[in-house]
Structure 1
């Protein structure tokens, strides 16, 4: 989140230098990522006035310009499509940092020779210096025209445009528990308490209702909407916002659009309350209905995308159709346009989980949804509405034209919290006096009464304060964590017993690594196969490609192998230990996956059975032009299995080779199971010696412990196996 330092200074007396204030924010409130002076970005950039334009002798699209930059006139080669004599422009002088044609990294300008002509700077387009939001380009070659800016040639650009603010960037992750801090007023309150200086929030104007236009709000989904304030204003003039408002929005990364939309964004980043503006004349029946979407109802949002909704999505509708995704994004059909004269303003408080789940399901994240899902205080809609009406009246000529509807399903009044002074001291480990505790909580807006056992009523804007421990955190951070003397933890740590299955897994993984494998970790989720009704489905998957819990390690390992092959890796082996999830059972598996371009991958994978000293399920898959053989082991089975030793036979065996072609690529484990079942007790070994597309070269080892086998007896077993493979897989034997 970005904060304008100049904006904060409207509410709190702060020193000129923002860095010490940023340090206080980090120490007491939230982590500041960096502090940036706007003017630094525009160093060596000035206002210039074009005095003369002549054709470039060697380039049709380039011009030679003589430009007054205050101290002198310089020659600049320019390809701008809209340059003119006496035009005020932005000139980047040598030493300035720009993006060439708005692309790539920043470069430092230097005097250059372009097609034989010297250029002592650059006449800038907005994309080249990061001013796209203040000066949107209509074409690639359009340069910024400063005709509306009253500044003399040579005036530093930051001064001419009023870009002299300092921007403080806050790490959002440190604010997730503080919905009141997603705005400037929230941080102003904090700084007022830290610095013990008055908070200068102006009193908001109150507005009387008007029955000129019909307007009603019905909240059907009451469990999803805690408060909804709505009103209609007319006599609205839609036009560009004044410069000061555009500059404030642009400084913190928001693009100015028009005065009505800009006001809703301004109030959101000022008071923390998201708003939405509807074109009232596009709402059927002059009515707002807060309801759940109908099955397969569609809505085209402001970004031009059409979404098919489910009955789990909360929408803002008129009498006929959905007009907005509640708390997320408005609909295109009721969008504010240049012709809009009557506007319906929404200031609402929605259930956080409803907004978060709705945004996730549609893969939409907006500034509004980010705030709504943080459990905004129920008092915020009221503050946001009064501030919006104030600005609409001042900047758009708006007048209230309907009743001001305030539908609520919950109270905004905070509940008192009991706080023991001794508990504060024990939990913080600091001798904080009762008087100081009361002062700190009072500075934060709490009402405190009692002695030793305090009764604390949080302010209405602090919906995050509900238990004593949260109050103690407030006391500790304002007291200063740096003022609390660290104390070592005292206690006895007993080593925890290691589960046998985990110990086995680590031993086997280490053996695999020593044999050349690379250990990998995958998510426990994977994509659902077509017709898969056995896998355990996630209620709210991260994305559609990770919708079920994996039933094996092989599937995700194939994805890892494919990505490594795409990056040029060849002939590698992966090992992974993890859990798999079968219906009603969670198992510990270890998998080895050998990748290569021939049948040796099967022998490599099979060789790991010897290296690891345990057997598992073998399978072969084709990954592009390469092959992946996977050995997957159920570790629980390894732990409980009884080890048996078979003596070396006295009689020789017979090896027979088969070339079997399959219509599709089955799992090798399934093929091997059919071969072993149909081969009987005399089949002692099965191996793969060749792979070509869907054909396998399979070697059978036949042996008896009682006699030497005859060839015709071995061939009968081979034929039985061939018939079984044909019956099970429609496979054919290629003689």
Structure 2
């Protein structure tokens, strides 16, 4: 929030250096972002008046001006600006003047004519052109409409350019600080001064207000007050008000609109001004909009409302979006002669929703979203009416039309001051404790050193519990004053649990075989279960819904990790990545009474030129081997709708389901806009952890060499490789060290109903070097058993 220091001094006597003050505010919790000094670098620039303008004799685009600069002195200045006229009041940089940025002005000749200075634009004075009216944007800064522009007066004094502006970074829990009064409260307690609140006294005319206010939704609008001003004269606000608005980051519009913005900045209370002549029913009704209602806001955009949005109506039509923006049908114009000022307290969550749904964020909605004290709404309209009288732009009718159905409850905290002081760890006395709270405008009833009753002021919406009192005491006492203390107690080195080591081993093994670890969100879309063709009666459709999701795509907690992995594969494929092999160790969630069950799962996904079913199978087996999980069975699966029929397997352990892997169903691949074959697997790591033997067994390096034999078998298509491998293992006679499937072929050279399966078998003995006869004996036995039990034949072509 931008805070002009000169304005702040209206409420607090700040008698210390501005930078020092800003640093002190940071130390008490109101963090300073920047301190900017207006007028820095400006010297010898005064207010001038153009007396005469003549054409330049030697340049068509230049004119020669005679400019009065005070004390009867007139200087000649040449300019190319097109927006100046005789009689204009302008800023004049005289000979030897300095401007921001180190620019120096001196007397010189322009095309043969003497120029004894320069008339300045707003930009040349360091004034942001956003705050300058259209007449001055493309030329000299015209001061004709400003008060106090005495000829010859130093421009910094005339325009208030000697002020400093502090930009405070405010936290969301302190909406009371989003105002000059709120910052003044913090400033007063920081530097040990008393705050001076504005004395609000409204001078009313004899005419009484004849107007009704009705709130139909007291849960959405807690209070609504309206005051009426007649005989309004719309025009520019005085320069002092414009200057304060500009320094606070608000562009001046006209006196009435500027008053509402001034009060919003001063008290943090958003106000709105209606053209009373457009509210012809003599009443205000606050209610929810009609579903589908069309409403045009002040920015001239027609918006479609729903029945959850609160609107201000005149009983016949909507005239404002409550807490967000007024309507075009009741805006203040140059022809406005009567004004209705609105001061209200709206529900924060409802205002936030309206603003978000409509994509319309304003200064008012930003304040209401964070919370505005109910009591401030009346103060705001009273202050606005006082300013109307001060500016002489209308007469205020007697009385206020108000509906106040929902009173703001007083918050009373009972806390233990001794405990708070002890836990803060600072030598704070009870008297200091109470004084800090009273300086912050809390009402204290000290019952004993162990109990104090604290009544929280209505503007402190953040104070809810004893922990909040800790913060108030510590920050005002001074964090830097709290003595540091050494930590006490025994400190032991942290160690990982067995489960953590187990998970680490899985990740280590997965990455070592070429898989890339991914990390995805635990919440997904319900539609993702349809995209993987999950049956409607599947237990995995029993999911947990989020109460406040970011959107439909992240509205449930996942029961399977496959959709998340498929999304990652799609992202890689869409970016022309030719091969992707990924894995994730994460959680799925099963609802139950109370907190849900978090299941540890491993999901693997892959696609690419050299990727097939057996690459995925081998990856899973390698991971199982690294963590000591043995005794599992891999069983063909033909009834899983997520996977390709006949290219899927289920992993079982002693009758318990461990996981499934295989080639994704073509429809699943299409649902994720993938074009190549995709292989997926998901494993229940909790069951694997409970049944794995992670004892590390070291085997000596082999003493004797190994030898390998390759076999290519012709078997029927319904024969599974698992059956072949069982026979190899059963007949190895202790000499089969390992075996590897390296080819499955069903081409034109293979008879219908058959397939070629090729294995490489490695033989080794622990006791001697194997001879060809030793190997042949075992090898022939394996081939014989394969032929006998599976009708397998050695392929010869």
Is the 2:93–2:105 Cα contact (8 Å) retained in structure 1?
no
CA distance, structure 1, for counterparts of residue 603 and residue 497 of structure 2: 19
Is the 2:412–2:453 Cα contact (8 Å) retained in structure 1?
yes
Deviations 1:607-630 (A, max 9, x none): 754664597465596999997957
Matched residue, 2:26: 26
Q: Secondary structure, in 3 states, of the residue corresponding to 2:484? A: coil
Deviations 1:641-694 (A, max 9, x none): 9799xxx999634699xxxxxxxxxxxxxxxxxxx99999889999999xxxxx
CA distance, structure 2, for counterparts of residue 51 and residue 179 of structure 1: 53
CA distance, structure 2, for counterparts of residue 347 and residue 455 of structure 1: 32
Matched residue, 1:292: 288
> Which aligned pairs between 1:490-529 and structure 2 lie closer than 5 A?
490-491=488-489, 503-513=501-511, 519-526=517-524, 529=527
Matched residue, 1:131: 128
Deviations 1:357-406 (A, max 9, x none): 33333343332223223333222112212111111233362333474123
Is the 1:209–1:403 Cα contact (8 Å) retained in structure 2?
no
TM-score scaled by structure 1?
0.72
Is the 1:576–1:592 Cα contact (8 Å) retained in structure 2?
yes
Matched residue, 1:579: 587
CA distance, structure 1, for counterparts of residue 194 and residue 87 of structure 2: 49
Among 328, 338, 342, the alignment partner of 1:332 is: 328
Shift of 1:34: 1.9
Is the 1:45–1:157 Cα contact (8 Å) retained in structure 2?
yes
Evaluate the alpha carbon distance shift between residue 83 and residue 601 of structure 1 in structure 2; reply closer, same or farther with a 3 A threshold.
farther
> Which aligned pairs between 1:46-195 and structure 2 lie closer than 5 A?
82=83, 88=90, 131-137=128-134, 142-146=138-142, 148=144, 161-173=159-171, 176-195=172-191
Matched residue, 2:688: 639
Matched residue, 1:432: 428
Matched residue, 1:706: 786
Answering whether residue 549 of structure 2 is matched by residue 541 of structure 1, we say yes
Deviations 1:477-523 (A, max 9, x none): 22222222123444567889967665544433344455666655444
Shift of 1:421: 3.6
> Which aligned pairs between 1:415-454 and structure 2 lie closer than 5 A?
415-450=411-446, 452=448, 453-454=451-452
CA distance, structure 2, for counterparts of residue 42 and residue 591 of structure 1: 68
Evaluate the alpha carbon distance shift between residue 317 and residue 14 of structure 1 in structure 2; reply closer, same or farther with a 3 A threshold.
same
Shift of 1:222: 1.2
RMSD value over aligned CA atoms? 5.4
Deviations 1:337-366 (A, max 9, x none): 222222222211223333333333334333
Is the 2:222–2:404 Cα contact (8 Å) retained in structure 1?
yes
CA distance, structure 1, for counterparts of residue 262 and residue 429 of structure 2: 41
Deviations 1:126-182 (A, max 9, x none): 69966233214489x933442527879999875664333212122222xx2223211
Evaluate the alpha carbon distance shift between residue 442 and residue 516 of structure 1 in structure 2; reply closer, same or farther with a 3 A threshold.
same
Answering whether residue 491 of structure 2 is matched by residue 483 of structure 1, we say no
The structure with the larger Rg is 2
> Which aligned pairs between 1:333-412 and structure 2 lie closer than 5 A?
333-395=329-391, 397-401=393-397, 403-412=399-408
CA distance, structure 2, for counterparts of residue 256 and residue 559 of structure 1: 51
Q: What number of residue pairs does the alignment pair up?
A: 660
Q: Secondary structure, in 3 states, of the residue corresponding to 2:11? A: coil
Shift of 1:14: 0.8
Is the 2:724–2:786 Cα contact (8 Å) retained in structure 1?
no
Is the 1:593–1:629 Cα contact (8 Å) retained in structure 2?
yes
Shift of 1:2: 1.7
CA distance, structure 2, for counterparts of residue 223 and residue 558 of structure 1: 45
TM-score scaled by structure 2?
0.67
Matched residue, 1:13: 13
Answering whether residue 356 of structure 2 is matched by residue 276 of structure 1, we say no
Gaps of 5+ in 1: 99-106, 112-119, 657-675, 690-698, 715-735
Evaluate the alpha carbon distance shift between residue 337 and residue 634 of structure 1 in structure 2; reply closer, same or farther with a 3 A threshold.
farther
Evaluate the alpha carbon distance shift between residue 247 and residue 637 of structure 1 in structure 2; reply closer, same or farther with a 3 A threshold.
same
CA distance, structure 1, for counterparts of residue 718 and residue 409 of structure 2: 74
